[in-house]
């Protein structure tokens, strides 16, 4: 007996949303409450770290294919940042590892959503 196992594209989309909002929340908390910078203004750090996520946000929430693709590309920047911080900064390794996790959820969620979506429009 063969089991037919399929995952709906909507599940991948929700995975991407978990990654997106998890990454957004983590970056906001990391840079304001958990470990604010003593050398740079917090507003500048937030502007640099959060702005790339805000650019495709409207399209991602509307399930726009082009915005989902750009979001997956942008998530790779956060993946690289998280990997470097995990290696270089032992005091904030937990936050950086969580950034890597959320960026991977965002990347694979958007990529698999685009791959398995039936509306190729």
Predicted local confidence at residue 32, as pLDDT: 95
Predicted local confidence at residue 7, as pLDDT: 79
C-alpha distances in Å from residue 37, one per residue of 12, 61, 68, 86, 99: 35, 31, 31, 17, 17
Contact 109, 19 (CB under 8 A): yes
Predicted local confidence at residue 61, as pLDDT: 97
Q: Which residues of the chain have pLDDT under 70?
A: 1-5, 118-121
Using DSSP's 3-state secondary structure scheme, residue 2 falls into coil
* Sequence spans of domains, the chain: 9-116
Predicted local confidence at residue 1, as pLDDT: 62
Contact 29, 38 (CB under 8 A): no
Predicted local confidence at residue 100, as pLDDT: 98
Helical spans, DSSP H, in the chain:
9-29, 42-54, 57-61, 65-88, 93-116
Contact 103, 73 (CB under 8 A): no
31 closest CA partner among 87, 76, 95:
95
Q: How many CA atoms lie within 13 A of 87 on its CB side?
A: 5
50 CB contacts (<8 Å, ≥6 apart)? 24, 27, 28
Residues 12-32 have pLDDT tens digits of 999 999 999 999 999 999 999
Query: What pTM, to 2 d.p., does this model score?
Result: 0.91
């Amino acid at each position: 007996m063969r089991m037919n196992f399929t995952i709906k594209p909507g599940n991948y989309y929700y995975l991407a949303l978990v990654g997106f909002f998890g990454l957004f929340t983590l970056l906001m908390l990391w840079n304001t409450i958990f470990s604010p910078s003593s050398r740079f203004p917090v507003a500048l750090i937030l502007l640099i770290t959060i702005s790339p996520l805000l650019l495709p946000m409207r399209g991602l929430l509307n399930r726009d294919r082009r915005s989902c693709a750009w979001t997956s590309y942008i998530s790779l920047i956060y993946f690289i940042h998280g990997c470097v911080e995990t290696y270089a900064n032992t005091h904030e390794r937990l936050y950086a590892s969580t950034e890597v996790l959320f960026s991977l959820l965002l990347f694979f969620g958007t990529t698999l959503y685009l791959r398995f979506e039936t509306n190729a429009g």
